[in-house]
Structure 1
Amino acid sequence: MKRRADIRFELRHLRYFGAAAEQGSFRKAADGLQVQESAISRRIRDLEDQIGASLFIRHAGGVTLTLAGQRFLTRARSALSQLDEGAREVGSIGRSEIGYIRIGLFSSIASGFLSKLFTAYDAQCPNIEMIFQEGSAEQNLSLIDKSQLDLAFTIGNLQPHRYDALELWRERVFAAIWDAHPLSAKSELDWSDLAYEAFLVRPGGPGDEVREYLSLRLNGIGCRPRFLTQNIGRYRLLGLVASRRGVAPMLASETTISIPGVVYRPIVGEILPFFAIASPKNDNPAARTLLSFARTLSRSDRSPS
């Protein structure tokens, strides 16, 4: 049995056919579409040749759909409607009206720069879903490399990578201590004050980065830090601080967490830069819009938290 060749036609064939069917005239269809009548007639003839059936009965008063034409019109209208809907949907994505962003985080979004950024972005782009994942800079860079994150907000920019890095804000570093701790009498702390404290940290992800940071600072004054790894969330970690099981390093944006029995003291001279990391090949328009918001907010909010 001979296999029939695939039918091939262009979108304009369907639009010309639909206009002619609606107007009952090639001439009126041509006027409405602002093309030559001959173009309408020729394209519809091509369409009929491809399909293998006459779609119109031509007569002096215009054209009338054949039975085949009536059946094809139903399908053509459905196809055009789906294409138009698809074009509107894609256009909405391109204008950042709908879509999603996958974001890697280190610090809290409850307050500070990120809180203001996401609040402003939500107000402008309410239909964009933001999907968050907490991790270290190394982990976030790996996920960007695999196209599993659109962008990441990280402490520092020391990990080697080939992506765009934009410094957005800076935050002071604090120590969370229990309220009866001898150091609570001081308004600021030096690293030497914390040399013999037990540091409560979380495992993996940001916890690895915290341990590395504390080791660098305390090794610099000749001390070896002692870590107590706790597989719990940040809020419960502060509960352990209140129960005098250790101290915890905190960012300024995290000191808004109020826990009975816990006080925060800044560490002298410790201010950390935060960067937005994104691949220049990332074509998510919602992510590009978020970065634009971040640049604007950064210019108006340069002082450390």
Structure 2
Amino acid sequence: MASSSLHAIELRHLRYFIAAAEHGSFRKAGAAIGVQQSALSRRIRDLEYHLGATLFLRHSGGVSLTFAGQRFLRRARQVVRNVGDGMQDIASIGRSEHGRVRIGIYSSIASGFLAELLHRYADRHPKVQIDLIDDNPGEHIAAIRRLRLDTAFMTGERDWPDCTTLPLWSERVFAVLPNDHSLAQRDEVQWDQLADEEFIVNESAPGQEVHDYLVQRLAAFGHHPQIRVQRVGRENLLPLVALSRGLTVVSEAMTAAQFPDIVYRPIFGEILPFSAVWSPKNDNPALSKLLDLARSLATARQTELVTQSVSWMKPRAGPSQSPDPLQ
């Protein structure tokens, strides 16, 4: 049989054939699947022609399978089942019920916006695999452009070529101090109070970004800051602060992580914006759902902040403003 004949076989041919085999009648099969008997009969004749074999014996009481038809029925059911399973898998990926999303991070996921976003996303899409990758911004952007990373949540609102940027949230910046440091008793600290301090950063991400950030902020005080690189991960850097090996800075989300003998103090006026960055060529449905949720969460948080601000500004009634019950 020529391959062109096999290529002419459509999925509906197999479904009509299976229905006729199960009902033992073209008329009953057509009624069951909503197809006219004549149309079903023609399609089965087409199928027999393309296969080069008779599948049914026709008789007055209906139809019965030939030996070839019996052999073909098992294969036809397997093909239809596999196609159906494949369509369900693709549809579930399209609905983000399954799939994978690869996320580059800079901020801690101990608390804050990113922690809440990931928690909500995991609740709504429990079958989507979430991969988190710590790396430098340059590596994140390169991976996004090559579609090896779906998105990265990074500091700043910079426009990256060939990428889309969406500002989402901001975090305060905190100095990490030993609890016996002279500044530990203050509610907040200022950069000029930190200018003569020695700082430590970790070698891996986001160590280089923290290093550059400190240099930029402290250069205005006339000398290059003392910054030493420690070959430890982020989780071991803060215990070194407790050992008086130097100070460091973290974003607000990291302050949920508690370590003995250190304190977090906000740096006056220092706010760090965070944005999502992704490639417009990325058509991963799981990414689309994540970004939709991020937008929704950012809008809800902004609305909450505005509401709190308006509530705080409203004048509160004092005793003299209370209505006199005797009037």
Give the TM interval when normalised to the shorter protein.
Answer: over 0.9
SS at match of 1:152: strand
1:5 equivalent to 2:3? Answer yes
Write the letter of the residue equivalent to 2:232.
I
Equivalent residue runs for 1:169-188 within 5 Å: 169-188=169-188
* Structure 1 residues 107 and 157: alpha-carbon distance in aligned structure 2, compared to 1, 3 A threshold: same
**What per-residue deviation string (whole Å, max 9, x for no partner) do you get for residues 218-240 of structure 1?**
12333312221112122210110
> 2:201 touches 2:248 (CA, 8 Å); kept in 1?
yes
**Superposed CA offset, 1:127-178 (max 9, x none):** 1111100122222111111111111111113263222211111000011011
C-alpha deviations, 1:30-70, integer Å up to 9, x for none? 22222222221222112111111101111222211100000
Residues 211 and 120 of structure 1: CA distance in aligned 2, closer, same or farther (over 3 Å): same
For residue 82 of structure 2, give the secondary structure of its aligned residue in structure 1. helix
Question: TM-score, normalising length from structure 1?
Answer: 0.94
Contact 1:141–1:161 (8 Å) recurs in 2? no
Question: After superposition, what is the alpha-carbon deviation per residue over 1:230-273, rounded to whole angstroms, capped at 9, x for unaligned?
Answer: 12122210110000000011111101111111011111111011
Task: Report the secondary structure of 2:295's partner residue.
Answer: helix
| Structure 2: segments with no counterpart, 5+ residues | 307-327
* Structure 1 unpaired stretches of 5+: none
Q: For 1:31 and 1:223, how far apart are their aligned partners in 2?
A: 88
Answering whether residue 9 of structure 2 is matched by residue 19 of structure 1, we say no
Structure having the larger proportion of residues in helix: 2
* 2-structure distance, mates of 1:128, 1:233: 28
Contact in 2 for aligned 1:20/1:26 (Cα 8 Å): yes
Separation in 2, partners of 1:226, 1:161? 34
Paired residue secondary structure (2:49): helix
Partner residue in 1 for 2:320: none
| Secondary structure at 2:3 match in 1 | coil
TM superposition outliers: structure 1 runs of 4+ over 3 Å: 3-6
> What does the per-residue CA deviation read over 1:54-111, in whole Å, with 9 as the maximum and x for residues that have no partner?
0111122221110000000001111111111111121111111122111110011111
The aligned counterpart of 2:241 is 241
| Paired position in structure 2 for 1:79 | 79
Deviation of 1:210 after TM superposition, in Å, equals 1.4
- The residue aligned with 1:125 is 125
Percent of residue pairs identical: 47
Matched, 1:139 2:160: no
| 1:66 lines up with 2:66 in the alignment | yes
Instruction: Note if contact 1:105-1:132 (Cα within 8 Å) is conserved in structure 2.
Output: yes
Provide the aligned C-alpha RMSD in A: 1.7
How far apart, CA to CA, are the structure 2 residues paired with 1:206 and 1:221? 24
